């Protein structure tokens, strides 16, 4: 027989085609019957909505029918191929062509280097002449870790390749091989044990390097040529072209341990620069084509994904059987192997195995000689990729274009499927969106294909190109029938009608055939069921979002993106995947639609069941098909209900945050997880929202017509309940679902996205200890009488004692009062610190504020009692000297004499409003030695900004810009911490915690500031609700979920660049390397003289300071408005709340101070809301809508006083006059009012108890909710309105940190401190007395007329009684107490009148 007559491959057609074609014909007849029914039974009666739904259903069924017909083209006549590798070897062994294998990776976190080299080694170990084999690794992330892993693999391959040849093992990926159970005869050999040990040692070295984020220094030193292109500025989006040949195939030294030649091994990282398009994987493949043409130029190219290792070392020969066949091979462009996956669960929960595509449809495409190229597991002819057109005279030595499933059942390649639902849907979005773009482009099979490819192949391509439009008929079928079921509108024939037959037949035959198809290709019933669920989920998520993306690109509002499917997951996610529990975990927009549909179906189905129970089975005659469809969708959605409402304890919501852009690929320094229990919260929120809607519906449909005044009161109540901060029978705020207090929609938004962060400071220390950046700590004080110097230096000392290289730390104290007493206290602190800092380091004490440490009374472990006693004595002596000087109002003369340079700027005329610029650098500290002479000490500087009666200075915002300017001349550290003078550091590690976010290579460069919570020493039950507990423990996490925690003015670490007005851009390097940073080495005198101008009154004239640079002026909450401006410039912020409080401050100890502070906050936030910096205006398109809503929670504090006052006055006033404003308690309309009140207060109580509060703590919070809205917020609203019309000016009142002994005792005993005749107390007392009188009146009526009078007035009596109970401390202070903290008689007298 002639050589040309012996084919290298064969093919056979599929069996059973006659039965299949009979099935297709019968199913087509059923579809035609359905369409005929739709066309001849158009409803002409009933609502117009039914006609529209009927038309939509008809079009959907027409689409389903046409698409089903299209899918049959891939099933009509499949063909199955087999190869003859023996013939190939016999005829062509000496003529085998060269093969270039391309492996592509891009992200060492989503595609771990150890996984990548497993694929590389499996290709190098092909049963193929090694001198004809070249393996290229394209690293699109440009990571030196990947190159290091490849270097280790090249050394290991010298042992691995001979081992594979000798024992003919399969598979030849070492990770896969050693994870299986090989032949016991092999495992008992010494060679097997040695090889396994070699592999494990290599794996440990690679994983250790990855965990540390750096190549071992000795390796980098030994292979300087390999790693020379990497430096501190190299990252995944900005690096030069890197080409490294690790094993040269032509090199005589490139041999394994047996002396056999080795394949060529090449590492390539193509150049990437910001602003240049890189075209993702296609760009990487094209770069490999060009480079390989110069290195090896093999005529055959294999490309695989980095996770898809070769599972069969003979697959290259299988492919060549098609390429080298003399009869059929000359036209072959590529041979596509199926993509199989190694980690699919038994029942393929996500339908990710592509089973029907690879085992059914692609065989049908092969009949038309045109299987799709699917991006991996594919052998190409090089000429076909260079743009060459095929012609009959092409005489290439290679042949063929086929779909190959080699003889036997061994998969050629095995990869990793996505293990979370989000990854699956994102992947499907990319596939379907890309296919749809092809359909809508000039490459559409029906436009580009005629006369070039067969009509059958054109139709097969369109199966996938039309995935996206499938979303619309699917959504129609998922919504319309169940909605009409809810409304009792039939959309299908009656169950007693013969027209039901085609519907039933098509449904049973289609689903029955798909089930049989799955079972025939090795699936299970549950696998089929999971596929039906994913069929629906893909169409209502991936395909729908792919369509939206296409439309956005079409109108120029979108751009192409490529999301890498992660090949790693945390242990919990892996466990859930193995147990086939759906992994949601992220707050993806994709999950909103299927969850909404699932709840919609459940509600509709429950309503239908209720109707059947009430009215009998007769109601199903018209609605049977809709009920069955709705029930089917409910069953399909069971995992969604489980994930949304049952698995709330972190089982479906934990994730590792690694998403903020592609940066230099190193190990993350922090992680995060989503808040727990969101499922139950969403359910409660949904029910509560329904109750609120019912309340508003009652108001709208029951408007009284008796009198104009009553209608006005009714309108006021309605608007109060409608207002985002309105009130439904209540008097205080739940901390979360604030139906009447907290902008329900806004609070709902903030709670849907809570995120909690964890730091990895040990990793940070291991990686960056020598590169830690400089840190400038800013402390601000303004009045030595309200902020005692001893308190201030406690904060300063706690910062100086940070566990941080002291030569990289500078502490700046801004004294806006320009007091020599503050400077004296700082001088004393500088002397004391020389003893205090070594003591802190030696015994690792916490906290490191001496006042807080010694007041705690604890003795640290290993502390010498003698040293402790000595240190306490030193501190007490210093404290006595400082307090003595403050009480006398002057610095001791001997100190002033000794330190003339320090105190030279003070004279008898100097005061807090009129003094020169003062800058004092502690020269001894700058010199850098403390008492033990072992450690450098931090630099400390005092700044007294120039103040003049003729110059208007922004009171609180001004010191920080001054500190920015001065520090830039002295230390210029890239990281800045600012704290209030009373807020000492409670954790010496907090600076390192913050750096975990700034220095993370993946996410850090976009972080502008890291905000720690402000925590306070408050009483057990927090009488003034000053602990900000709900804000710190709930709301702030919600802010962080939108990547935009607000800046709250203290306990915040900043990136200096973000405070200088710089906008964030992708090319911002953000380098914080401390190796290149140094403090100024100039003398203290030089630094002081140069810095004084920067602190003067005129230093900001005609500059951008206060507008675009530094903190913004003109707003009482300059911190909040500055944070908004920073975030709108593209920066992100982070909220971090460690277990140990990072900072602890002093809360106001009197009610007046508390209310004045709240008034300033409310007024400032309201001013922002009314200004051009309103987040809905200034933030549009710059920050997310969710973050805009979060800011508005606080922006609307002030106007929330109006509905609160309405609810505090109107119901009780009408109660006094027997006018009902609520439904009778005996009517059903009372249910939503009762439910919303109980659920709201119940949730807020449970939340507070969960956060560690007490019932009395919660009760005090309700009281302060009422008091703040009736006083602080109302006066803030009035002040804002006066400023708006030009009748007011901004003021800033410093909260006093000093109270007398009696007031302190009352505060500790949780007795409210009034004490002064504040206008705020007049309104508060008046409202309280008013409600007391009204309650007394209704009690009298009940006694006289009986309990029946309460039926229409029950809710008003409840509101009134609640206010009276909350006001008990007010009545006590006004009428009972005799101490100085009572309400002054004048205030009580006015209130009674």
Extended beta strands in 1125-1187, E state: 1132-1135, 1143-1145
Which of the following is catalytic: 139, 342, 1119, 1279? 1119
Which of 1182-1221 are b and which e, b meaning 16 or more Cβ less than 10 Å from the residue's Cβ? ebbebbbbbbbbbbbbbbbbbbbbbbbbbbbbbbbeebbb
The tally of CA atoms less than 13 A away on the side-chain side of residue 166 is 14
Which own/partner contact pairs does 1075-1082 have at CB distance under 8 Å and 24+ positions apart?
A: 1075/770, 1075/771, 1077/773, 1077/774, 1077/808, 1077/972, 1077/973, 1077/974, 1079/774, 1079/807, 1079/810, 1079/926, 1079/939, 1079/970, 1079/971, 1080/969, 1080/970, 1080/971, 1080/972
Phi, psi values for residue 755, rounded to 5°: -140, 135
The bridge status of strand 242-247 relative to strand 984-985 is unpaired
Q: At what angle do helices 1255-1270 and 1230-1250 cross, to 10 degrees?
A: 120
Contact predicate 1030/963, CB 8 Å: no
Query: For 93, left (φ over 0), alpha (ψ -120 to 50), or beta?
Result: alpha
Tell me how crowded residue 877 is: count the other CB atoms within 10 A of its CB. 12
Tell me what percent of the chain is helix, strand and coil, each rounded to the nearest 5: 55, 10, 35
Helices in 8-143 by DSSP H: which ranges? 17-40, 48-71, 85-92, 113-124
Tokens 């009395």 locate to 1256
Catalytic residue among 107, 816, 982, 1040: 816
Q: What is the DSSP string of 227-294?
A: HTT--TT-BTTBB--EEEEEE-TT-TT-B-TTS-B--EEEEEE--B-TTS---HHHHHHHHHHHHHHH
- Whether residue 128 contacts residue 315, with contact meaning beta carbons closer than 8 Å, is answered with no
Tokens 């902008």 map to which residue? Answer: 743
Establish whether 738 is a catalytic residue: no
Closest Cα to residue 1135, out of 989, 982, 1248, 1014?
1014
Q: Is 954 a catalytic residue?
A: no
Q: How is residue 563 written in tokens?
A: 């999301």
Tokens representing residue 1104 in the block? 């951008």
Range 1238-1266 burial, b when 16+ CB lie within 10 A, else e = ebbbebbbebbeeeebeeebbbbbbbbbb
Phi, psi of 416 (to 5 degrees): -115, 125
Per the CB < 8 A criterion, the answer to whether 1120 and 1194 are in contact is yes
Where helices occur in 1253-1348 by DSSP H, the ranges are: 1255-1270, 1272-1284, 1301-1308, 1319-1345
Is residue 709 within 8 Å of residue 1153, measured between CB atoms? no
Tokens of 948: 């003049």
Which residue, 1182, 1170, 1192, 1156, is CA-closest to 1046?
Answer: 1192
Q: How far apart are the first and last CA of the chain?
A: 122
Q: Do 358 and 338 touch, CB atoms closer than 8 A? A: yes
- Which of helix, strand or coil describes residue 104? strand
Mapped onto helix, strand or coil, the DSSP state of residue 1346 is: coil
**Interhelix angle 820-843/865-888, nearest 10 degrees:** 170
Q: Is 233 exposed, middle or buried (0-12, 13-18, 19+ CB in 10 A)?
A: exposed
DSSP 1277: H
What stretch of H or E contains 672?
Answer: strand 670-674
**Active site residue ranges:** 816, 1119
């Amino acid at each position: 027989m002639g050589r040309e007559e012996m084919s290298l491959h064969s093919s056979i057609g599929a069996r059973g085609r006659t039965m299949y074609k009979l099935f297709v014909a019968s199913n087509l007849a059923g579809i035609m019957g359905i369409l005929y029914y739709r066309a001849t039974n158009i409803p002409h009666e009933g609502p117009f909505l039914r006609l529209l739904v009927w038309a939509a259903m008809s079009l959907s069924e027409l689409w389903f029918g046409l698409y089903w017909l299209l899918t049959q083209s891939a099933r009509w006549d499949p063909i199955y191929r087999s190869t003859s590798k023996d013939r190939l070897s016999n005829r062509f062994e000496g003529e085998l062509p060269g093969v270039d294998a391309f492996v592509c990776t891009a992200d060492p976190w989503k595609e771990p280097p150890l996984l990548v080299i497993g694929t590389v080694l499996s290709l190098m170990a092909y049963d193929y002449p090694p001198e004809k084999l070249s393996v290229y690794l394209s690293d699109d992330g440009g990571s030196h870790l990947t190159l290091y892993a490849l270097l280790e693999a090249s050394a290991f391959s010298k042992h691995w390749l001979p081992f594979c040849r000798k024992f003919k093992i399969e598979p030849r990926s070492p990770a896969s091989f050693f994870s299986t159970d090989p032949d016991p005869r092999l495992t008992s050999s010494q060679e097997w044990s040695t090889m396994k040990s070699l592999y494990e040692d290599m794996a440990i070295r690679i994983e250790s390097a990855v965990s540390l984020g750096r190549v071992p220094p000795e390796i980098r030193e030994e292979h300087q040529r390999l790693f020379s292109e990497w430096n501190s500025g190299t990252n995944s989006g900005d690096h030069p072209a890197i080409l490294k040949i690790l094993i040269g195939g032509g090199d005589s030294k490139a041999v394994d341990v047996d002396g056999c030649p080795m394949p060529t091994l090449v590492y390539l990282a193509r150049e990437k620069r910001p602003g240049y398009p890189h075209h993702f994987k296609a760009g990487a493949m094209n770069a490999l084509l060009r480079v390989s043409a110069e290195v090896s130029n093999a005529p055959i190219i294999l490309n695989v994904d980095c996770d898809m290792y070769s599972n069969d070392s003979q697959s290259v020969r299988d492919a060549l059987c098609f390429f080298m066949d003399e009869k059929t091979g000359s036209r072959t462009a590529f041979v596509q192997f199926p993509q199989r996956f190694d980690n699919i669960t038994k029942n393929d929960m996500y339908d990710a195995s592509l089973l029907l595509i690879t085992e059914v449809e692609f065989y049908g495409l092969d009949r038309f000689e045109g299987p799709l190229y699917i991006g991996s597991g594919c052998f190409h002819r090089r000429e076909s990729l260079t743009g060459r057109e095929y012609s009959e005279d092409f005489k290439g030595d290679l042949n063929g274009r086929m779909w190959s499933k080699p003889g036997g059942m061994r998969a050629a390649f095995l990869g990793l499927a996505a293990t979370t639902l989000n990854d699956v849907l994102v992947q499907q979005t990319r596939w379907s969106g890309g296919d749809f773009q092809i359909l809508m482009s000039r490459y559409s099979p029906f436009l580009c294909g005629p006369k070039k490819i067969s009509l059958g192949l054109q139709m097969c391509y369109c199966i996938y190109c039309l995935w996206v439009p499938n979303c619309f008929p699917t959504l129609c079928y998922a919504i319309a029938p169940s909605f009409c079921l809810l409304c009792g509108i039939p959309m299908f024939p009656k169950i007693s009608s013969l027209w039901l037959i085609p519907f039933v037949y098509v449904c049973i035959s289609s689903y029955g055939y798909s089930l049989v198809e799955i079972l025939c290709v090795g699936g299970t019933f549950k696998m089929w069921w999971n596929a039906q669920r994913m069929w629906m989920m893909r169409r209502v998520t991936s395909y729908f979002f792919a369509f939206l993306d296409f439309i956005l690109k079409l109108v120029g509002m979108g751009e192409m993106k490529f999301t890498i499917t992660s090949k790693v997951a945390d242990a919990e996610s892996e466990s859930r995947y193995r147990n086939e529990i759906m992994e949601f975990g992220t707050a993806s927009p994709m999950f909103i639609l299927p969850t909404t549909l699932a709840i919609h179906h459940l509600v509709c189905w429950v309503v239908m069941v209720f109707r059947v129970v009430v009215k009998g089975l007769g109601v199903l005659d018209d609605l049977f098909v809709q009920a069955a469809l709705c029930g089917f969708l409910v069953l399909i959605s069971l995992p969604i209900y489980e994930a949304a409402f049952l698995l709330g304890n972190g089982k479906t919501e934990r994730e590792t945050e690694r998403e903020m852009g592609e940066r230099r690929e190193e190990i993350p320094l922090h992680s995060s997880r989503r808040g727990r229990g969101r499922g139950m919260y969403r359910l409660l929120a949904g029910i509560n929202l329904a109750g609120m809607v019912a309340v508003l519906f009652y108001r709208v449909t029951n408007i009284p017509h008796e009198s104009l005044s009553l209608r006005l009161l009714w309108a006021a109540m309605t608007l109060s309940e409608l207002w985002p901060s309105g009130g439904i029978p209540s008097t205080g705020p739940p901390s979360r679902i604030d139906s009447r207090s907290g902008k329900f929609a806004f609070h709902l938004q903030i709670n849907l996205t809570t995120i909690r962060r964890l730091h990895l400071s040990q990793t940070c220390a291991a990686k960056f200890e020598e590169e830690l950046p400089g840190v400038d700590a800013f402390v601000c004080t303004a009045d030595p009488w309200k902020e005692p110097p001893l308190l201030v230096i406690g904060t300063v000392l706690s910062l100086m004692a940070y566990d941080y290289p002291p030569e990289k730390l500078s502490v700046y104290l801004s004294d806006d009062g320009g007091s020599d007493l503050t400077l004296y206290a700082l001088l004393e602190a500088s002397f004391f610190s020389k003893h205090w800092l070594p003591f802190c380091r030696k015994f690792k004490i916490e906290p490191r504020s001496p006042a807080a440490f010694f007041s705690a009374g604890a003795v640290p472990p290993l502390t010498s009692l003698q040293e402790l006693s000595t240190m306490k004595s030193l501190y007490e002596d210093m404290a006595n000297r400082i307090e003595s000087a403050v009480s006398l109002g002057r610095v001791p003369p001997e100190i002033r004499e000794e330190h003339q340079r320090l105190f030279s700027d003070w004279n008898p005329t100097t005061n807090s409003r009129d003094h020169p610029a003062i800058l004092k650098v502690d020269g001894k500290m700058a010199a850098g030695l403390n008492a033990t002479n072992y450690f450098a000490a931090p630099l400390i500087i005092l700044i007294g900004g120039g103040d003049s009666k003729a110059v208007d200075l922004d009171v609180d915002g001004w010191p920080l810009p001054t500190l920015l300017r001065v520090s830039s001349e002295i230390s210029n550290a890239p990281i800045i911490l600012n704290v209030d003078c009373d807020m000492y550091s409670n954790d010496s590690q907090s600076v390192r915690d913050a750096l975990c976010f700034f220095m993370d290579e993946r996410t850090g460069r976009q972080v502008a500031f890291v905000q720690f919570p402000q925590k306070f020493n408050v009483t057990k039950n927090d009488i003034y609700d000053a602990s900000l507990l709900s804000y710190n423990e709930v709301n702030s996490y919600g802010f962080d979920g939108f990547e935009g925690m607000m800046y709250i003015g203290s306990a915040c670490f900043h990136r200096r660049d973000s405070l200088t007005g710089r906008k964030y851009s992708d090319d911002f390097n953000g380098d914080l390397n401390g190796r290149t940073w140094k403090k100024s080495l100039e003398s203290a005198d030089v630094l002081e003289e140069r810095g004084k101008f920067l602190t003067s009154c005129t230093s900001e004239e005609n500059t951008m300071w206060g507008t675009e640079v530094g903190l913004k002026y003109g707003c009482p909450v300059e911190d909040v408005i500055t944070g908004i401006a920073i975030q709108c410039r593209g920066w992100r912020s982070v909220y971090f709340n460690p277990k140990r409080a990072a900072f602890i401050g002093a809360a106001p100890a009197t009610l007046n101070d508390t209310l004045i502070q709240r008034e300033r906050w409310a007024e400032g936030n309201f001013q922002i809301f009314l200004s051009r910096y309103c987040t809905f205006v200034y933030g549009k398109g710059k920050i997310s809508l969710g973050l805009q809503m979060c800011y508005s929670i606080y922006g609307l504090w002030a106007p929330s006083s109006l509905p609160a006052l309405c609810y505090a006055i109107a119901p009780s006033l009408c109660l006094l006059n027997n006018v009902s404003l609520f439904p009778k308690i005996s009517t059903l309309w009372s249910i939503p009012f009762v439910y919303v009140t109980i659920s709201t207060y119940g949730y807020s109580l449970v939340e507070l108890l969960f956060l560690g509060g007490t019932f009395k703590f919660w009760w005090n919070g309700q009281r302060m909710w009422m008091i703040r809205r009736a006083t602080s917020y109302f006066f803030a609203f009035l002040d804002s309105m006066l400023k708006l019309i030009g009748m007011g000016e901004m003021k800033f009142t410093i909260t006093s940190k000093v109270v007398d002994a009696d007031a302190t005792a009352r505060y500790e005993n949780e007795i409210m401190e009034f004490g002064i005749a504040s206008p705020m107390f007049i309104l508060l007392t008046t409202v309280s007395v008013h409600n007391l009188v009204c309650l007394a009146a209704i009690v009298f009526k009940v006694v006289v007329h009986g309990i029946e009078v309460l039926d229409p007035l029950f809710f008003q009596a409840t509101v009134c009684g609640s206010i009276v109970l909350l006001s008990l401390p007010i009545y006590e202070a006004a009428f009972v107490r005799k101490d100085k903290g009572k309400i002054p008689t004048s205030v009580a007298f006015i209130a009674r009148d």
